[in-house]
Amino acid sequence: MIRDITLGQYIPGKSFIHRLDPRVKIIITFVYIVFIFVASNFEGLLTMSVLILGILLLSGVPLSQYFKSLKAILFVVIFTSVLNLFYGSGNVLWSWGGIQITSGGVANAVFVTIRIISLILFSSVLTFTTSPTELTDALERIMKPLKLLHVKVHEIAMMMTIALRFVPTLLEETDKIMSAQKARGADMESGGLMQRIRALIPILIPLFVSSFRRAYDLAMAMECRCYHGGEGRTKMKVLHATSLDAVAVVVSMVVCAAVVACNLYFPAVLH
């Protein structure tokens, strides 16, 4: 399960999505996430899903990587879907005591499942196709107006990117510690809930120690390189929007307009 978590991983490539300006990718990702929830019927949601499928293919990232990101939250998807089965009106398909499943409940479960899967897949595209350095620069540029309010934009962007970058590192460290504990005879997969929680204690302590050590080493390395914030710093790679970014923005606007049109002309699924 630890190895299936792909949050923060970057896969180098030269695809259409890789070459987009990271600022455009971040803004489009935010807009798409909003419109995934704005879509209130299957027509609008399927429009978003078809576009997301096209983006996955254009990204050049193996589909197995995206399936890994879904596998990590499979329990959440199943739990949410089952929960929505019991909400909704329509023809009763199954009943037992005071519990019943209706055609509306099935529609709600399918709708919510597609929504969650689309959300996870599209969010994964951003981290898979954008390096941590590009994310830092893009976030700093996007939040630049906040400097007028004396907000430390560079430091915030740096902290967010470092946190995202070290997620795979900490997951790898967790996997190594778990393997070492199992080699010493630790049993982490049997017993009740409390017994499994107690079995995690030998993992959490060395993980915290390792995390603090990595943070200290990183801070020391930044100080040795005379890092003192973003004032007066130049960029090795200056971000420039191209015609590819214009195409991506136009396509995004068309899809968002289509979702709004679907909301106006088709009935909503969730009530």
Domain spans in the chain, listed from the N-terminal domain onward: 2-265
The token duo for 186 is 């630790």
- Close Cβ partners of 246 (under 8 Å, ≥ 6 residues apart): none
Neighbours of 184 (CB within 10 A): 8
The model's pTM = 0.74
- Residue 173 structure tokens: 């460290």
Mean pLDDT value across residues 228-236: 66
- Annotate 48-78 with three-state secondary structure: HHHHHHHHHHHCCCCHHHHHHHHHCCHHHHH
| 4: pLDDT strictly greater than 80 | no
Q: What is the pLDDT, as a whole number, of residue 250?
A: 92
d(CA 197, CA 192): 9
72 versus 28: which is more confidently predicted?
Answer: 28
Q: Which residue has the higher pLDDT, 250 or 136?
A: 250
Q: Given a cut of 80, is residue 164 above it in pLDDT?
A: no
pLDDT of residue 209: 84
Q: What is the pLDDT of residue 146?
A: 80
At residue 236, the pLDDT reads 66
Residues composing the chain: 271
Q: In terms of pLDDT, which residue wins out, 193 or 81?
A: 81
Torsion over CA: 216, 222, 226, 232 (sign): negative
Tell me the pLDDT tens digit for each residue of 112-159: 888 888 888 888 888 888 887 788 788 878 888 887 787 787 778 778
Identify whether the C-beta of residue 25 lies closer than 8 Å to the C-beta of residue 17.
yes
What are the Cα distances from residue 212, in Å, to 56, 172, 215?
A: 36, 16, 5
pLDDT at 257: 92
Residue 91 has pLDDT above 80, yes or no: no
d(CA 213, CA 243): 44
Tell me which of 1-5, 208-212, 243-247 is least confident: 1-5
State the DSSP string of 72-107.
TTHHHHHHHHHHHTTS--SSEEEEETTEEEEHHHHH
- Whether the Cβ atoms of residue 242 and residue 16 lie closer than 8 Å to each other: no
Q: What is the pLDDT of residues 172-189, one digit of tens each?
A: 788 787 777 777 776 666
- What mean pLDDT value characterizes the chain? 80
Q: Token pair 């504990």 is at which residue?
A: 181
Max CA separation in the chain (angstroms): 70
Highest mean pLDDT, choosing among 149-153, 164-168, 176-180, 256-260: 256-260
| Sequence-separated (6 or more) residues with CB below 8 Å from residue 231 | 154
Percent of the chain with pLDDT over 90: 3
Flag whether pLDDT at 5 surpasses 60: no
